[in-house]
Amino acid sequence: MISSIRGTRDILPAEVWRWQQVERVARAVCARYGYAEIRTPVIEREELFAKGTGESTDIVQKEMYAFTDKGGDRIALRPEATPSMVRAFVEHSLEQALPFAKLYCLGPMFRYERPQKGRYRQFHQLDVEVFCVTDPAVDGEVIEMASAFVAALGIEAAELVVNSVGCKACRPRFSAALLEALGERLPELCGDCQRRARTNPLRIFDCKVPADQPIIDALPHSVDYLCDACRVHFDEVKGQLDAYGLLYRVSHRLVRGLDYYTRTTFEILAAGLGAQNALLGGGRYDHLVKQLGGPDRAGIGFAAGLERLVLALPEGAGDAKVADAFVVAIGAASWPAARVLARDLRRAGLTALVDYDGHSSKSQMKRANRSGVRRMLILGEDELARQQVTIKEMETGHQHTVDRDKVVAELAKLRLESPE
């Protein structure tokens, strides 16, 4: 047997309903906030992520799937969606094409990392982006939208965490303060942190090595080194969150693992998911569009991991839908009529199952029980002769007969009386 690749997984029918629930809610929330869906390729030029995500990031240095194609071009499977969204925004001049440059996408991403609960090498994200707005009010709205999305899924034990990482003007001073605070203790940190200190000191806050945490916890806070403009911006973002009535915590360790972030960063965390507890995260990136060859336009957005959202869904949310009926044919003469009845139910928007291969009525009834349908519709010689159908309620065992030309309307009525 050929098995699936490590770090990937099949989403089986018993679980896929929960995924569809997350996707339905995602699309509904995005539509309410005025976002248009976009679908970008899963393969891009490698340089897009080297320039966009950042060459010093773990994503590009360690985790990105990159290869040379048959034409000699360096190609990457997208490890995240934001650079692809920015590329599409620039390439297709979407600033002019849309009333508001607000976009979202749903799809798979790829990173070569250690598989664990809620984290795979192929994973799926909702990605939300807003372009061309520098007003801190949009930061507040994006964060409120993210919170509304999580709430709409019924996930209650979630915590909003925010921070500001400053801008090009004030971040160098903060980076210098980090290195000064580390001083002679830098060699005590892991090899990755020592590399990060040379390339981007803020990445030190991404460290997960337990022995390094006491040193990192004692480091300076970015909010204490903000320039006046960044401080005002962050105060206005927090004021907007207060106006929305959102509870949040400011965390100096929240810098996010990507080089392009400026000013606002945020995450929503969930209990019960272990170390990988971030349901979603994002922030502002005011220079990325220009960095990738576009006009000087601001941006802000977030990415939500669907695997973790599915894990965090409350019990019963997005459970498999129960079929309305299983049509049972008794006797060879009943099979054509049974299949026509199933077709008529489906055309009316009802879910109908019917057996194949001429199985016995006993076998069909066993299959109906296993399928969990609400009702069995029985067509035998007597029913055919009288132009009727016998309806059996699976939960109570109660049976009654209905005229064949009224059975579709009867099933539709029963569905309305007992919604899912």
CA 157 to chain centre: 18
Q: Residue 19 corresponds to which amino acid? A: W
Reply yes or no on domain 13-170+226-312 having CATH 3.30.930.10. yes
**Which distant-in-sequence residues (6+ apart) come within 8 Å of 12 by Cβ?**
none
Determine the pLDDT at residue 150. Answer: 94
Report how far residue 336's alpha carbon sits from residue 349's, in angstroms, rounded to the nearest whole number.
21
Report how far residue 359's alpha carbon sits from residue 315's, in angstroms, rounded to the nearest whole number.
36
Judge contact between 160 and 246, C-beta under 8 A.
yes
**Which distant-in-sequence residues (6+ apart) come within 8 Å of 400 by Cβ?**
390, 391
Structure tokens at 37: 């869906």
Determine the pLDDT at residue 419. Answer: 53
Strands 278-284 and 299-305: antiparallel
Determine the pLDDT at residue 274. Answer: 66
What b/e string do you get for 372-382 counting C-beta neighbours within 10 Å, with b at 16 or more? ebbbbbbbbee
Structure tokens at 370: 């296993």
Nearest Cα to 207, choosing from 220, 199, 216? 216
Strands 325-329 and 352-354: parallel
Determine the pLDDT at residue 44. Answer: 95
Report how far residue 226's alpha carbon sits from residue 167's, in angstroms, rounded to the nearest whole number.
8
**Which distant-in-sequence residues (6+ apart) come within 8 Å of 217 by Cβ?**
253
Q: Is 351 buried (19+), middle (13-18) or exposed (0-12) by CB count in 10 A?
A: middle
- Stretch(es) of the chain classified as CATH 3.40.50.800: 325-417
What are the beta bridge partners of residue 249? 161
Determine the pLDDT at residue 148. Answer: 94
Phi, psi dihedral angles at 279 (to 5 degrees): -75, -35
Determine the pLDDT at residue 266. Answer: 95
Determine the pLDDT at residue 320. Answer: 63
Nearest Cα to 390, choosing from 381, 398, 405, 379? 379
Determine the pLDDT at residue 33. Answer: 94
Report how far residue 109's alpha carbon sits from residue 125's, in angstroms, rounded to the nearest whole number.
7
Report how far residue 103's alpha carbon sits from residue 89's, in angstroms, rounded to the nearest whole number.
9
Q: Is 304 buried (19+), middle (13-18) or exposed (0-12) by CB count in 10 A?
A: buried
CA angle 415, 376, 323 (to 5 degrees): 50
Q: What is the residue-level pLDDT of the chain in tens, covering all 420 positions?
A: 999 889 889 989 888 989 999 999 999 999 999 999 999 999 999 999 998 888 777 788 889 999 999 999 999 999 999 999 999 999 999 988 777 799 999 999 999 988 877 778 999 999 999 999 999 999 999 999 999 999 999 998 899 999 998 998 888 888 888 888 887 788 878 887 878 877 778 778 877 788 888 888 888 888 888 999 999 999 999 999 999 999 999 988 787 656 788 999 999 998 776 666 889 999 999 999 999 999 999 999 999 999 999 988 887 665 667 788 999 999 888 899 999 999 999 999 988 898 888 788 888 888 888 888 889 999 998 899 999 999 998 888 899 999 999 999 988 888 877 655
Determine the pLDDT at residue 198. Answer: 79
Q: What is the CATH number of domain 325-417?
A: 3.40.50.800
Determine the pLDDT at residue 221. Answer: 86
Judge contact between 342 and 352, C-beta under 8 A.
yes
Report how far residue 362's alpha carbon sits from residue 368's, in angstroms, rounded to the nearest whole number.
10
- Stretch(es) of the chain classified as CATH 3.30.930.10: 13-170+226-312
